Each structure stands twice: as structure tokens, then as C-alpha cells.
């Protein structure tokens, strides 16, 4: 497969990757091109920007969560019927699982997919030193193809011109864009990174501004030229999820909480359910909606703490959710989903909001981060739908904790990461599992099938 592709990487975090990558996607979209977006790493928020810019679901590519073959399959599967693929990196180009491994890094994805890199650098306060900086990135790994540079946050046009001359003289890499400091102040940030697109009212205006920023300051034709010179990559047949044809005929209905509070879902996970015949029925707890008629339910992550008042006032939803769990319908909840299953949410200022009172514990919001890690776990015999001793992989990132976990039954034994108590995750209550862990289906291709089988068994 030879879809033209480019990877937008950064010299570090907060150098402007998301603004620039999303702006490039929108700029190419203006040209009438079908753009397939991707995000390196486990992040949920950046892909929400990509999807608005391209009108296509953005996918995550992660070499900790996925095998190299799965990464190639995911890329080729999602890129069908597209004109170009734009991949946004994570953190700095070489940051990965640890200080010496490629795994989990942007560079690793670039090498697996033979993707040329456009490197974004924040040049505030530097000119010639930027060339030295980029030379280090170029020489650290000769297998990484840095094909172009975008300078972000220059102070004056003279500052930009001096920096361009130095970089092109000493590195021989073309500078294809220069963006002034005042023009990159487009986005807001929260403790998990950027504000999710689901929370913005003026989504299209924000994305349009990003596209305009790129059109004015970046050579889009040069990006297309670089993308069109990519090497072909072998198409592989190692899908991220398995399919069960008999199960597909049952048309299991899944109620899925999806709104400004609950929007952290991997597109690949949702596709695994859909391709096994499930019908996804969206509903919004924040807007006062209750559970739809369904056979099972997904309640994903997000920022329910921001919408605690709206959720606590939706008493029909909270009551129906508790009844659903007690009646043994399958419910799978991740992070934000776990939070609303608790008794109450206690904010950092001590305010309390009543939640579903299914897990007999309050969820406490902390000022310090409580979990940030890739996670590996092994299922226990208590897991409601996965077989015992199954491997699962995912990530955790949260500022909340449970204040009472005695007598808790867990579905995962954690061997990497923190989980709920440092050793365990996945609270099991009847056919419900609630975890801080966000699972990616690549580590367990039968995940969707096993959940749907439980729903069918309960329905039957």
C-alpha cells in the first residue's frame, strides 16, 4: 500500500503539534483532498480535533498497545479511500516507553510506516542554536527521515529569517513553514492536555482558524511533495479485532454515553463492536437523557467532574443505571464511567455531588495527578466477560481516586501501572466492570466479541 503520508512530530511537548497538524489537515481538506488522520500514542483529545478537520475518525497508532503488524494493518485499513494520511506525533520525537527504547515513540511509528517527518520546533529565544538542536534529532537515529522543519513562535520576521538561514545551512533540511508567536494562541489546555472538541461550542470556527493559520504560514505544496515520495509499505493481515459471524446476526444493542462529559473512546474499539453486528445507540447524561433501550452499555472516560451538577441532577439516569447494574445487564465503564458509578463526587474544594451509588465509595478529586502510565493487566476469574489470565493493555491518566475499596472484587491484576490501589483494577459488580484503565482492543482482539456474548446470553 502506498498512501501518501506525513508525520508531524515535535522536539517536545507544547511546541504546537496539535494546532499545526490539525491546521494542515484542514488546509488539505480545503483543497478537496480526503485526509485520513492519525495520532501517535493513547491520547483521546487530539484525535477529536483531527476528526472535525477531516470529517473522518482519527485513529491511534501506538507501538506499546499494538504490534508492528497491527499498526500497519490499522494504517492501511483506515487509509483506504483517502488521498493522504496525516499523523500527529506525541511528546518529543524520541520519547517512548523508557529512555532507550523505541517502543511507544513517534520515531518508532515513523519507521514502521516509512513516514517522512515534519519536525516542529519552538524557536523562542534562539536562532543558530535551533540548527544544533535539529542536528541532534537528525543524527540520533539515521533511520528516521526528517524531511522538513516548521518553526513555531517566532517573535519578528527577522528572527524567523535568521533561524531559517542557520537551519538550512547546517542541517540541509528545508524549512517549510514559520509561524509567529501570537498566532499559535488558539487552544486552551486542562490537566489532561487540550480541551476536548466535544466541549467547544464553536468547533468549526476553531478548526477553520487553524486551517487559515497554516495556509498563511506553511508551504502546503511542499508538504504534498514530501508526502507523495513515501516508500510503499507491505499490507498485512493482522486485524486489531476478531469477528464472529454468528454473533453479528444477533444485532446486539449497545447504549453508549457520548457527550461533553463522556467522549473518550478509541474508534477501533467502537468499530470492533460495529463489525460484530452491534448497534451503537448514543445518549447524553449531561443533557438530561437516561439510558436507551439496549442490551448492554458503554460509559467511557472524559471529564464528568466538570459536569457534576448536570449529572447529579439527572436522577432518572442515575436511578436507571443502578437498576441496570442490579439487574445484571452488562455495563463496561472506564475512568469517567467508573466515577459516576461511585456514591458521590467530592471536588477539590469539598463540594459533593450525588452519583449512582453503585460502587460503595466516594470519588475524590485531587490536585495532584493520581495515575499516568501505560498499563498491563491480567484478568482474574472475577471478570464478567473476559476469560481468566487474559492479557489486557491500555493506559491510565486521572486526578481522582476512590476513598473506600475494602471488600472490593477486582477483574484485573495489574503488573504495570497503578490501577485502583497499586495492584488491582476493574471493580466487578454483577455483570459490570468499572476501571481507571482505558483498554485498547489490539491487546485482546476478542474483547468486543466476549462483551457481546455476555449481552446475548443475558438477552437470550
Tell me if 206 sits within 8 A of 37, measured CB to CB: no
Higher pLDDT, 207 or 451: 451
- 5-227 placed in CATH 3.40.50.300: yes
Show which residues are catalytic. 335
Q: What is the mean pLDDT of residues 46-64?
A: 96
Which residue would you say has higher pLDDT here, 190 or 136?
136
| Nearest in space to 93 (alpha carbons), one of 8, 4, 179, 193 | 8
Residue (of 67, 71, 77, 12) closest to 39 by Cα position? 71
For 71, the 3-state DSSP assignment is: helix
For the chain, the structural domain boundaries read 5-227, 245-459
Output the CA–CA distances (angstroms, integers) from residue 199 to 160, 263, 286, 307, 380, in the order listed. Answer: 35, 10, 11, 11, 36
Q: Say which CATH topology domain 245-459 has.
A: Rossmann fold (3.40.50)
> What pLDDT is stored for residue 151 in this prediction?
98
* pTM for this entry: 0.94
pLDDT digits (tens, 9 = 90+) for 245-258: 999 999 999 999 99
Average pLDDT value over all residues in the chain: 94
User: How many percent of the chain have pLDDT more than 90?
Assistant: 88
Domains 5-227 and 245-459 share a fold: yes
Rounded to whole angstroms, the Cα distance separating 379 from 387 reads: 7
**Residue 67, C-alpha cell as written in the block:** 504490534
- pLDDT of res. 191: 46
The β-bridge partners of 148 are 118
* Residue 1 confidence (pLDDT) above 50: yes
pLDDT of res. 187: 52
Amino acid at each position: 500500500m502506498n498512501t501518501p503520508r506525513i508525520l508531524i512530530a515535535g522536539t517536545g511537548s507544547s511546541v504546537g503539534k496539535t494546532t499545526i497538524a490539525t491546521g494542515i489537515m484542514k488546509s488539505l481538506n480545503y483543497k478537496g483532498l480526503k485526509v485520513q488522520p492519525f495520532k501517535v500514542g493513547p491520547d483521546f483529545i487530539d484525535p477529536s480535533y483531527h476528526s472535525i478537520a477531516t470529517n473522518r475518525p482519527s485513529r491511534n497508532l501506538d507501538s506499546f498497545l499494538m504490534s508492528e503488524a497491527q499498526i500497519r494493518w490499522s494504517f492501511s485499513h483506515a487509509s483506504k479511500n483517502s488521498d493522504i494520511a496525516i499523523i500527529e506525533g506525541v511528546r518529543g520525537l524520541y520519547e517512548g516507553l523508557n529512555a532507550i527504547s523505541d517502543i511507544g515513540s513517534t520515531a518508532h511509528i515513523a519507521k514502521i510506516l516509512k513516514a517522512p517527518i515534519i519536525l516542529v520546533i519552538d524557536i523562542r529565544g534562539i536562532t543558530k542554536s535551533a540548527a544544533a538542536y535539529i542536528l541532534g534529532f537528525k543524527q540520533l537515529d539515521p533511520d528516521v527521515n526528517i524531511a522538513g522543519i516548521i518553526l513555531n513562535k517566532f517573535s519578528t520576521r527577522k528572527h524567523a529569517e535568521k533561524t531559517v538561514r542557520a537551519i538550512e545551512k547546517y542541517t540541509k533540511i528545508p524549512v517549510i513553514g514559520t509561524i509567529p508567536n501570537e498566532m499559535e494562541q488558539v487552544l486552551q489546555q486542562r490537566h489532561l492536555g487540550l480541551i476536548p472538541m466535544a466541549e467547544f461550542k464553536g468547533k468549526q470556527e476553531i478548526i477553520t482558524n487553524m486551517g487559515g493559520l497554516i495556509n498563511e504560514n506553511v508551504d502546503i505544496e511542499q508538504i504534498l511533495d514530501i508526502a507523495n515520495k513515501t516508500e510503499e509499505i507491505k499490507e498485512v493481515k493482522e486485524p486489531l479485532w476478531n469477528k464472529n459471524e454468528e454473533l453479528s446476526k444477533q444485532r446486539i444493542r449497545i447504549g453508549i454515553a457520548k457527550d461533553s462529559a463522556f467522549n473518550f473512546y478509541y474508534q477501533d474499539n467502537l468499530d470492533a463492536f460495529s463489525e460484530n453486528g452491534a448497534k451503537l445507540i448514543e445518549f447524553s447524561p449531561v443533557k438530561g437523557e437516561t439510558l436507551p433501550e439496549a442490551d448492554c452499555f458503554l460509559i467511557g472516560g472524559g471529564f464528568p467532574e466538570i459536569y457534576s451538577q448536570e449529572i447529579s441532577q439527572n436522577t432518572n439516569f442515575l436511578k436507571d443505571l443502578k437498576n441496570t447494574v442490579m439487574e445484571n445487564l452488562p455495563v463496561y465503564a472506564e475512568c469517567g464511567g467508573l466515577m459516576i458509578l461511585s456514591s458521590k463526587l467530592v471536588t477539590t474544594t469539598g463540594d459533593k455531588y450525588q452519583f449512582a451509588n453503585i460502587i460503595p465509595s466516594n470519588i475524590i478529586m485531587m490536585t495532584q495527578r493520581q495515575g499516568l502510565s501505560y498499563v498491563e493487566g491480567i484478568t482474574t476469574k472475577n471478570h464478567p466477560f473476559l476469560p481468566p489470565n487474559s492479557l489486557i493493555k491500555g493506559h491510565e491518566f486521572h486526578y481522582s481516586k476512590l476513598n473506600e475499596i475494602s471488600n472490593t472484587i477486582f477483574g484485573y491484576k495489574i503488573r504495570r501501572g497503578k490501577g485502583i490501589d497499586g495492584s488491582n483494577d476493574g471493580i466487578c459488580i454483577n455483570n459490570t466492570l468499572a476501571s481507571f484503565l482505558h483498554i485498547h482492543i489490539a491487546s485482546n482482539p476478542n474483547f468486543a466479541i466476549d462483551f457481546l456474548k455476555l449481552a446475548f446470553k443475558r438477552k437470550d
